Structure 1
């Protein structure tokens, strides 16, 4: 009989009322309330169940040391030992108070802080990148919390055009969010200069106008004597299409593979020929952007 009484007593949640204060101690058999990580106001559902539905309108006001304070016009709640920034199970103490009557109720409950909110992806709908550049999505995306980013489809920048892909973000709790994005792979700065030179083949003009018109394709407005084009960039021994070939008394536009577009040849025609010509070569100029 004694064992039976002890077993029965262990199942009882001890309650006592003294001076208008009701105390309830939490047991392992009591419910575990799920609340949202870093959302203090998600505790309000616990207040309505453990205290009274009248506490539904309280809002988080402040935290001092290990006590979080919630208030409404008529009610105040103090929560002790709640760490809303730590995921996992916690045992907390709650004190609900009616401001008008000073009636109080104290309870101890089990809560589980969990992260169920997917990360927010911040990224432009369209990303523009130059042809043949290395594309790293991490340079264009930010998250509102710690997590990882990946693309559902790789980005090949060897060809120009629009590529539609999806950004997938996963936070440390495993929540996933996605955002569609368009990557616009366009011709690069120097390729635009080279293409502009090729577009002038057959035009009657001198060499300086050929280069001036080619540079205009990227917004560079300059015209001068051949030697003055040296001032537009730095000399290089590794030319790329779009670099300027400067000679004594002549200037041309490099298009790759040892070829250049020359103006002022064959009666002022614009032609494609080798870099070598009768004028003494000074160097390749890599234009400043």
Structure 2
């Protein structure tokens, strides 16, 4: 435990520069006194580390000192290997750089750990898209990624779902997100989200893009996803569902069943499920066949019943 903490202090100072004992303690979730003891241990081990007192003081490594990665633990090396997404790197035009980085990482590991990582790489494969996702092409992804990295404004021709479908947009790139095998560009003004595969034409301008101070791409994406799902499921349906039907529910419906489900004597469960629209609810619940009964709202129950009567007449 202590050895891992000492390595963490070393890497924090190596990547961030000067840090106070209080900042190190907060980062490592230990006491300031523990940081003092750890710094003394690093001194004793010959690490060129010094501290400055005062308001602007802190600990700092001597200029030019760099640690090696030979102290990586097995779990840490595994995490670095599994965090790599070579397909994503290829799509961004970074496949060669990704391979070079993997080679450098592998070369820096001690022999036993290198052999372990090689075995691990052959036993895990990441396939991000869903089973029924279309193989969408995004020919403008590399220049979009370059604009994100270099901070350049984009002039794009974009295809959206409503009229007029093809529009011209000036976009200030804030970041790229890979979701279920599809790339999305988060860009200002707004910010708003754009599917990269819907970009019809693109010009990278010389104008500098300004990302708002403090903008957090991951936090923005989580918030936008939560808002999307909140707006998506604005209706409700009261149902009775069998154990077999319950096992087929996924996503928000499965979560609502767990939260609102009340078991009934016959083994079925009464629950309130979120639905997007009457059409969506009709199709979703009808797909469960005889494993579900719609209780409310009445118009949804009648709509499902009408479809069932039509099917019964059709199949005699």
Report if TM-score (shorter chain) is over 0.5: no
| TM-score class, shorter | under 0.3
Tell which structure's C-alpha radius of gyration is larger: 1
Q: Which has the higher helix share?
A: 2
Task: Compute the TM-score of the two structures, normalised by the length of structure 2.
Answer: 0.21
Q: Which has the higher strand share?
A: 1
Task: Compute the TM-score of the two structures, normalised by the length of structure 1.
Answer: 0.23
